[in-house]
Amino acid sequence: MRTKTVTLNGKQVVVKEQKVKTLREDVAPKLFGILEGAEDIEMKDIVPHLEQRIAEFFPELSEADLDEAYPSEIEALIEAYIDVNFGGLKKVMKPLLSFLQKGTSTPR
């Protein structure tokens, strides 16, 4: 199991790799929930919306932790989550997409 430790507002957060079952049954619906209705959110409500969603993924973080965090710390937290849980997928997808692009650009 992969892990990464990120510091957010002086607090060490350990980002742990999730099982495929958890990603499918718990994480995917949350991710789609973030996107659903996002276009209807007013600018003033974006930060509270994101704080709420981040708290769903990282319950050890309080609202105060998120309020006092720098955007770069939140970015590092999200990058760590993606790297730990989807790093293998990123490694596979890059050459696959390159291969597919070459295939579609070849004259027939």
The answer to whether the CB of 33 falls within 8 A of the CB of 19 is no
Rounded Cα distance between 75 and 7, Å, is 11
Cβ pair 60, 12 in contact under 8 A = no
Instruction: Convert the pLDDT of each residue in 72-97 to its tens digit.
Output: 999 999 999 989 988 877 676 777 77
Residue type, 27: V
Each residue of 18-72: pLDDT tens digit? 898 998 888 888 877 776 766 777 777 777 777 878 888 898 999 899 999 998 9
Please give the span between the terminal C-alpha atoms of the chain, in angstroms, as a whole number.
Answer: 45
Closest CA to 84 of 14, 12, 8, 7: 14
Q: Which domain holds residue 94?
A: 3-105
Give the Cα separation of 108 and 104 in Å (integer): 9
Look at the chain and report how many structural domains it folds into: 1
Q: Is pTM, for the whole model, over 0.95?
A: no
